[in-house]
Amino acid sequence: MSKTVKLTDWIFEIFSLQILWIIHIFKGFIVLGIFPSIAAVFAVIRHWLLKREVESLPHIFKQYYKENFKTANILGWFFSSITLIVIVNFIYTAYYPEQIQIIIYAAVIFMAIILLIVWAYLFPAIVHYKLSVYELFLVVLKAGFSSLKGIIFQLVSAVIIFVIILKLPGLLLIFGIIPFAFTQTIISIKVFHELN
């Protein structure tokens, strides 16, 4: 098979994954579909990277969507709520009395760092481990604090991808979250391997 044909097939698979992601978001009526769909994207990418047996993409996506439905929703919405609270507190800290502004800013910055780590490793951890919600949270924190390099690589790669998308917004329609998920998964697999 020529390199051009392989590249075309690869692009088609990524585009198909993007379509499946969108379909399953709506399948869960958005609210219940968004986080399991993201988890399924990460699981499929992990499946590809570990060179597991090739299966029908719609079949394995549906399988991973169902497997991670409950955990992805619980953790996804929990940390989304915490993130919203942190953002609101940051916005309104300027209206608090000056005496406590520094304390609140310090607390907000601390929580923002924790949330950065959580969002960097949350979905890779959900699809990598079969653990309880509490155990997953501990693994995510352990991964984040044990590998500063992993966090930096994820941030740098996310910024690069974001800049490319700003320059070429059409790529977002074709590839969506897939480039972000690819880089996160590649880095996370290495970090989780080191943890084990």
Given this model, what pLDDT does residue 1 score? 54
Q: 150: which 2 tokens? A: 């992993």
Given this model, what pLDDT does residue 94 score? 85
Confidence of residue 140 (pLDDT cuts 50, 70, 90): very high
**Is it the case that residue 148 has pLDDT exceeding 90?**
no
Integer Cα distance of 64 and 37 in angstroms: 9
**Is it the case that residue 47 has pLDDT exceeding 90?**
yes
**171/104: higher pLDDT:** 104
List Cα–Cα distances, 12 to 18, 40, 43, 62, 77, in angstroms.
Answer: 10, 18, 18, 18, 31
**Is it the case that residue 83 has pLDDT exceeding 60?**
yes
Say how many CA atoms lie within 13 Å of 177 toward its Cβ: 19
What pTM, to 2 d.p., does this model score?
0.92
Integer Cα distance of 36 and 127 in angstroms: 10
